[in-house]
Structure 1
Amino acid sequence: MFRKLYLVWLVIAACVLFIIHACNRAGKTDAEQMPDTVSYNFNIRPILSDKCFKCHGPDAAHRQADLRLDIPESAFKALKDNPTAHALVAGDPMMSEVYRRISTKDTSEQMPPPSSNLKKLTTFEVDLIKQWIKQGARYEKHWAFVPPRSYAVPQVENTAWPKNPIDNFVLQKMEQKGFDPNPEADKERLLKRVSLDLTGLPPTLQMMDNFLADNSANAYQKVVDQLMATPQYGEKMTLHWLDVARYADSHGYQDDNYRSQWPWRDWVIHSFNENLPYDKFITWQIAGDQLPNATTEQLLATGFNRNHKITEEGGVIDEEYRVSYVTDRTNTFGKALLGVTLECAHCHDHKYDPFSQKDYYQMFAFFNNVKEVGIESVVGGPETYAKRPLMQISNDEVKKVMKFINKQDTDKLIVSIMTDSDKVRPTYILKRGNYDAHGDVVEPGTPKAILPFAASYPKNRLGLAEWLFNKNNPLAARVFVNQVWQEFFGKGIVKSSGDFGMQGDLPSHPELLDWLAVDFRDHGWNIKRLVKQIVMSATYRQSAVISPDKLKDDPENTWLARGPRSRLPAEFVRDLVLASSGLLNQTIGGPSVNPYQPPGLWENATSGRGQLASYKQVHGPNLYRRGMYTLIKRTVPPASLGIFDASNRDQCEVKRLRTNTPLQALVMLNDPTVLEAARVLAARLLRDNSRPQDKITKAFRLIMCRHPQEKELAILTAYYNDELKAMNKADAQKLLSVGEYPIPANLDKVTLAAMMKVVDAMYNVEEAITKT
Structure 2
Amino acid sequence: MLAENNITVRAAVSGPNRFALGTRSRVPARKRTLASVRGLGWLAVALLLAFTATVRADEEPKFDAAALEFFEKEVRPILAERCYECHSATTAEPKGGLRVDSRAAMLVGGETGPAITPGKPNESLLIDAINYGDIYQMPPKTKMPPREIAVLTKWVAMNAPWPPEETKVIAKETFDIERLKAEHWCWNPIQRPETPEVANTDWPRQTLDRFILRRLEQAGLTPSAAADKRTLIRRVYFDLIGLPPSPAEVDAFVADDSPKALEVVVDRLLDSPRFGERWARHWLDLVRYAETYGHEFDFPIPNAFRYRDYVIRAFNE
TM-score normalised according to structure 2 size = 0.40
Query: Which of 1 and 2 has higher RCO (CA within 8 Å, sep 6+)?
Result: 1
Larger Rg: 2
TM-score normalised according to structure 1 size = 0.17
